[in-house]
Amino acid sequence: MDVSIIVTAYNYQKFIDECLDSCLDQKKTHLKHEVIVVDDGSTDETPALLERRSDSRLRILRIKNSGIERASNQGFAAARGRFAVRVDADDVLEPYYLEQISPLLKNDFGFCYGDYTVIDGDSTPLELVHLPDFDKAEIMMRGDFLATGTLYPTGLFRSVGGYNASTRNSGLENYELIIKIMALGAKGIHVAEPLFKYRRHNTNMSAERTDSIIAYGRALFERYGLGAFRTNQNHPYKLVLSEHLT
């Protein structure tokens, strides 16, 4: 198996079919891939929609609601692919995702990421985001790193312990993972093409949620001895940290 696509879902009945269609209907690829859905205790129609699916490449894991970190770790633990990518159930892979990353799989990298399109709740495109080529210093100033569409060597993900599950739904679980991988000296590879669609449900996170994420980010940087937690223009929500300093 070449690539495992791990879909994490919690009460996303509105989006789960679009997400899974995008993962299963990849175009022009010779790569062998599987799709693992981790249903994190959904209480809406998500389980029923998953039951209707019939595809030999699809596996469904249902767990007690545990938070994004534990749910994602279960998916990566079950992955059979040499590489694995997480896709949140409200996001969408571009149809040529696997074709675009295929030439890179022979390279030695810690993670692979691409540009992306921001969409709203109705899948209307809002913005095309171009990210810079890998620069550790830039990522350390970004303040976040999207999980959807970021590809990892499965063995490397497991060797660093996966996502830190000590804090539930920290909001920065993938950023912390990237930091751990870069601490090993591993580098990222950037694909200068849109690889996925990232759904933004509203223009701003709630003040309470924003403050919680910032507090975790500051604790994270202090724990790793990285100095002050900060953000730059590539932050997915364009979060300007200075507005929250007192």
pLDDT at position 240 is 86
Of 1-15, 40-54, 159-173, 203-217, the least confident: 203-217
Query: pTM to 2 decimals?
Result: 0.95
**pLDDT tens, residue by residue, 49-81:** 999 999 999 999 999 999 999 999 999 999 999
- The CATH architecture of the domain made up of 3-203 is Alpha-Beta Complex (3.90)
For every residue of 161-217, DSSP letters joined together read TSS--SSTT-S-HHHHHHHHHHHTT--EEEEEEEEEEEE-SSSS--HHHHHHHHHHH
- Share above pLDDT 70 across residues of the chain, in percent, rounded to a whole number: 96
Residue ranges per structural domain of the chain: 3-203
C-alpha 38/C-alpha 40 separation (Å) is: 6
**pLDDT tens, residue by residue, 73-84:** 999 999 999 999
